A = this chain, B = another copy of it.
């Protein structure tokens, strides 16, 4: 098959880890007889510097014309001190999600047996953890009307959801649950929020279409607790945008493998794949960043965007083998030999 893949490498370590994901994807393409055309485009601080805008129209055109988007990371420290500045890398991220219609953010949290000891949680708490969040990504308080009144003395943010928005996200959750242990947890704050009550009643009404799926409804504060207590008690979780932002980050650290976690953002037409780690600016250009989360994001691209599970598995197998053989960057080296970003990428490509 032939694919056009948009490459939005972004800032910080983004370009370095992206290079490895491309290298590994090329090895997969060669092995399985595919042909990839890479379409690089600007995003984040790099785009602000080049054209004054973190998600320029030209980049949007490239994404629309591609079969999938690989995304590195965005953000640089010089933007950190003023979160209200009008032009910021994150604004590009939100604009991109909205314009590409990426309403479903899929974030798995799983454990690698060899990395269990890196978790802040005790081993018995996380063993076997393999949960997946579907976070709604283009609605809620992120995109509702927001502003000031009374000469700036009062601020407001409106959280809005329509039933259709909840349904399309919940559908993804139910379908995923059907391929896994058939357990779905709907996370909300239905004892306080009207939007949460809409979420809950909408999901309740969908239960009859998936009679095999066992659905539970939990309040966001209770989930914030149980995620730390017994993360391995969860399977598929669905939630709205802001709760998902908080809980997926919380979940990512409990596995102890945050530097290995990929994610996918899916819309009706196009999907985007990115590591959950950020731009890690201090490591830029040092050839020390762990490329595995980016490489595993490419695996998700093959699996989800191209429906090629074998190709995805080839990448996952290579990563597992690298972990088992200690072909890792310094974050995972534990006193053993630390390989460079490029060297890990080369090894993975050679082991496809």
A residues in contact (CB < 8 Å) with B: 83-84, 88, 90, 94, 120-122, 125, 141-142, 144, 146-148, 150, 153-164, 189-198, 200-201, 220-222, 224-225, 227-230, 242-243, 245-247, 249-250, 252-254
Residues of B within 8 A of A247 (CB): 224
How many chain copies?
Answer: 2
How distant is A147 from chain B, measured CB to nearest CB, in Å? 6
Query: Contacts A147-B194, A154-B198, A155-B160 given; 20 further ones with Cβ under 8 A?
Result: A83-B191, A83-B196, A84-B201, A88-B191, A94-B192, A120-B121, A120-B125, A120-B228, A153-B163, A156-B158, A156-B159, A157-B159, A157-B195, A158-B159, A159-B159, A220-B245, A222-B249, A224-B249, A228-B250, A229-B253
Residues of B within 8 A of A120 (CB): 121-122, 125, 228-230
What's the nearest-Cβ distance from chain B to residue A56, in Å?
A: 20
A200 cross-chain contacts in B, Cβ below 8 A: 83-84
A83 touching B197, Cβ below 8 Å: yes
- Return chain B residues, CB-CB under 8 Å to A142: 192
How far does the Cβ of A154 sit from chain B's closest Cβ, in whole Å?
A: 5
Alpha-carbon distance A201/B81, docked complex (angstroms): 11
Please pick, from B121, B122, B154, the residue contacting A161 in the complex, using a CB distance under 8 A.
B154
